[in-house]
């Protein structure tokens, strides 16, 4: 038995880390500070630290996830700060300013009622020109882009009515109300997307 044997591991995170990493490498400034919401297994934090060691990456997640998350980071990315407990809508966010807030595959898990709190937190802790980067499956105006996403949505809602694939149009409207302007909508593998919202004051490529 090794120190890795009981650590959670996600096959999806292993598959999507490279295409997401390509996007982050383009969008994130050199030496930037990044706050990750819902770091989960920590596989993304580790990979992105390896490809962009210049970034100051702070991983967060709900309390019961922290112990295995902290162990993975200490084993595979010891230069990173220890992860912080953060339940969106309940906990105080780490002090900014951050150049980016990143979250992957969280919006369809957390209740939609907490989405405003996620956007409020991002708008508060981002520096002007900073970006919120959201990865996951989305629908548009209630329409799914793929049958697999519709099936996934049905599966989520059958497990918990508060879960489900979120509407990108509704998310964009809520973000705009908080000064987070839609900057990019990127198609990703496996019918996923990356939505990027930039805090008013400019964009990283002005």
Lookup: tokens for 76: 């595979």
Choice among 4-18, 38-52, 91-105, 179-193 with the minimum mean pLDDT: 4-18
Q: How does pLDDT run across 152-192, given as a tens digit for each residue?
A: 999 999 999 999 999 999 999 999 999 999 999 999 999 99
Model confidence band, residue 201 (pLDDT cutoffs 50, 70, 90): confident
Q: What is the mean pLDDT of residues 18-33?
A: 98
Single pTM value for the model? 0.94
pLDDT, averaged across the chain: 95
Between these two residues, 206 and 118, which has the higher pLDDT value?
118
pLDDT for residue 204: 42
Residue 118 confidence (pLDDT) above 50: yes
3-class DSSP state for residue 100? strand
What's the pLDDT score for residue 4?
A: 63
- Among 1-10, 20-29, 49-58, where is mean pLDDT lowest? 1-10
d(CA 122, CA 101): 6
Residue entry with tokens 């149009």: 169
Q: Report all structural domains of the chain as residue ranges with CATH numbers, in order of start.
A: 19-199 (3.40.50.150)
- Residues 151, 8, 13, CA angle at the centre, nearest 5°? 50
């Amino acid at each position: 038995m090794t120190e890795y044997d009981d650590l959670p591991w996600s096959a999806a995170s292993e598959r999507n880390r490279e295409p997401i990493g390509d996007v982050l490498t383009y969008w994130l400034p050199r030496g930037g500070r990044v706050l990750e919401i819902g770091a989960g297994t920590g596989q993304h934090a580790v990979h992105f630290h390896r490809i962009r060691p210049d970034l100051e990456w702070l991983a967060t997640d709900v309390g019961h996830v922290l112990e295995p998350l902290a162990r993975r980071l200490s084993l595979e990315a010891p230069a990173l700060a220890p992860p912080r407990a953060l339940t969106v809508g309940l906990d105080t966010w780490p002090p900014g300013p951050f150049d980016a807030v990143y979250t992957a595959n969280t919006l369809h898990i957390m209740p939609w009622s907490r989405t405003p709190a996620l956007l409020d937190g991002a708008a508060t802790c981002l520096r002007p020109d900073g970006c919120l980067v959201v990865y996951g499956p989305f629908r548009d105006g209630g329409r799914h882009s793929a049958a697999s996403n519709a099936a996934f949505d049905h599966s989520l809602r059958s497990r918990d009515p508060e879960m489900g694939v979120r509407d990108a149009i509704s998310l964009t409207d809520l973000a705009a109300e908080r000064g987070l302007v839609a900057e990019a909508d990127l198609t990703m593998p496996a019918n996923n997307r990356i939505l990027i919202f930039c805090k008013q004051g400019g964009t990283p490529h002005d």
